[in-house]
Amino acid sequence: MIKIITPNIPMVKLTNGTKTIERSKIQYEANLKHFTMRGFKLVSDKVKEVKKDNDKVIAKAKNVVKLKPKGKGKKKWI
């Protein structure tokens, strides 16, 4: 096996939400249109969204209709 020595090339990390890839900065700048078409963005540009699940649960709890307990009905004697 031959080991290829490459000089220190700056690398960038790209993500499309589910997949993260690492490419050289030169390749990224040359193919910028291709990466944006595929949905890839720089990891540093990605901002995490803060999810507020508690507010949704409280809002859904207000819309819930409380059901009456089912009555026990009469037993039939044979």
Residue spans of the domains in the chain: they are 7-47
Dihedral (CA of 51, 19, 31, 24) sign: positive
Contact 38, 49 (CB under 8 A): no
Q: What is the pLDDT of residue 55?
A: 59
- CB 25, CB 12: distance < 8 Å: yes
pLDDT of residue 48: 54
15 and 46 in contact (C-beta within 8 Å)? Answer: yes
**Which tens digits make up the pLDDT trace of 17-32?**
889 999 999 999 999 9
For 28-69, the pLDDT digits (tens) are 999 999 999 999 998 876 555 545 555 566 666 676 777 888
